[in-house]
Amino acid sequence: MQNTAAIQEDLVFGLDIGTRSIVGVVGFQDRRGFHVVAMAQQEHETRAMLDGQIHDIYKVGDTIRKVKNDLERQLDRQLSDVCIAAAGRVLRTVNATAEYAFEEETRVTQEHIYSLNLLAVEKAHMQINRESDKIRFYCVGNTPVNYRLNGFDITNLEGHKADKISVELIATFLPEEVVDGLYEAVGYAGLKVASLTLEPIAAMNIAIPEQYRLLNIGLIDVGAGTSDICLTKDGSIIAYGMIPFAGDEITEIIAKTYLVDFNTADKIKKLASDNAEGTVTFADIMGLEQTIPSADIIKTANQVVDTMAKDTADKIIELNGGKPVSAVFVVGGGGKIAGYTQKVAEYLGIQKERVAVRGPEVLTTVEFMVDNFKKDSLYVTPVGICTNYYTQKNNFIFVNVNNERVKLYDNDKLTIVDAVMQVGFPNEKLFPRRGK
């Protein structure tokens, strides 16, 4: 019941399945950092995804296949396993704690820490499904906030002697249909999921390295469908969040204002953002060619940008205990729209210089060994998906028991008994009985 074999020959394939486009990255990690050896990007031909959730599995699967085929041509080899990340409008987080007391003083191992984290994840899982009787939620990532050794805070439990260990962690959840849609689309493209994480976790791995996490910093990953948020403080990640406002909201107002289709509006948005002092020329649905100053297009989007920035700032303050953070890093293509970072800073009440788009600055340990791609905020998340594979290999897997779909945490030690117990199979029937 293994999830997948190790990604062949130490190459990791990461796939950022976004609302507007899919970015594929293949590379490897060594002591110097992560090395990208192949990259491919493909936009969805139609709006097959909305708000980070797949609406048309097969169209998304076709786009994934195109990215996969492009990467295989670059590498001259087949790809079978892929690392992915999830996001969505219905992201939920649960803070959970777990404690374990040894029968006698014991030196703590990685296995003990893993089991402790799993206890907390299981408690969070039970809590969120108990609170929601209509939607079944699945855990897509977890982040330890604090460990304790014999009642005292400690950074790393491993190697210490302990009578009792405990953990506080943040477990993140998405509805079953979101996760299931991702798995189905990936499978349709001829791939198997090697690891699954949350998009802000992936972005955080690159954008906010551990040496920065002592500071109270916010990370905003602005995609097309959602804006994902992560906060750090005192050396740990303290919160995750999401708002359902992102780049597509801006694209839609441009489409309605200038009477163009969605894809044309998206191109207009990008051109205006890249050349704020110039003009943008396009043809509307009547076939009439128009040349509009970029400043006018940006002005058209201002109200949406303002709403998006305010909602994001309000969410950050809520997650941060009613206070603004000290600084904010912005990644993702949607964060480049003119005026966005300034408005976020304004609503947070901090200096505008402390909210900035981060791309090359946070990719210093990443080497791009490919042509036609430069370091950009758009690639922070897909690279983070790859590096997450090295730090969080254990993930949930899905199996079928008597036609019922069951989700299990893959610890490389799963048995059939684990699966049947999950569906409530009577314990006494798990043991063989002598026949008559």
Residue-wise pLDDT for 335-379, tens only, equals 888 789 999 999 999 999 999 988 777 788 888 888 777 778 788
Residue 350 belongs to some domain of the structure:
yes
Check the CA dihedral 138-143-146-147 and report its sign. Answer: positive
Residue 239 belongs to some domain of the structure:
yes
Domain span at residue 338?
A: 217-359
How high is the mean pLDDT of the chain?
84
Residue 73's pLDDT band, with cuts at 50, 70 and 90, is very high
For residue 67, what pLDDT is reported? 95
Residue 306 belongs to some domain of the structure:
yes
Residue-wise pLDDT for 136-148, tens only, equals 888 887 888 889 9
The contacts of residue 293 (CB under 8 Å, 6+ apart) are 278, 279, 280
111-130: average pLDDT? 86
For residue 436, what pLDDT is reported? 47
Residue 305 belongs to some domain of the structure:
yes
pTM: 0.76
Q: Which residue has the tokens 């704690």?
A: 97
Residue-wise pLDDT for 18-64, tens only, equals 888 899 999 998 888 889 999 999 988 877 777 667 888 999 999 99
For residue 407, what pLDDT is reported? 56
349 or 428, which is more confident: 349
Residue 45 belongs to some domain of the structure:
no
238-267: average pLDDT? 89
Structure tokens at 213: 């996490």
> Do 35 and 210 meet the contact criterion of CB atoms below 8 Å apart?
no
Residue 351 belongs to some domain of the structure:
yes
Residue 268 belongs to some domain of the structure:
yes
242-255: average pLDDT? 87
Strand 81-86 to strand 192-198: parallel, antiparallel, or no bridges (unpaired)?
Answer: parallel
Residue 321's pLDDT band, with cuts at 50, 70 and 90, is very high
205-230 CB burial, b ≥16 within 10 A, e <16 = bbbbeeeebeebbbbbbbbbbbbbbb
Q: Can you tell me the distance from the alpha carbon of 57 to that of 156, in angstroms, rounded to the nearest whole number?
A: 41
Judged by average pLDDT, the poorest of 186-195, 202-211, 273-282, 415-424 is 415-424
Instruction: State yes or no: pLDDT of 7 exceeds 60.
Output: no
The contacts of residue 191 (CB under 8 Å, 6+ apart) are 64, 68, 79, 80, 81, 82
Strand 12-17 to strand 21-30: parallel, antiparallel, or no bridges (unpaired)?
Answer: antiparallel
Instruction: State yes or no: pLDDT of 3 exceeds 50.
Output: no
Which CATH number characterizes residue 256's domain? Answer: 3.30.420.40
Instruction: State yes or no: pLDDT of 218 exceeds 50.
Output: yes
Q: What total of structural domains would you count in the chain?
A: 1
Residue 264 belongs to some domain of the structure:
yes
For residue 431, what pLDDT is reported? 45
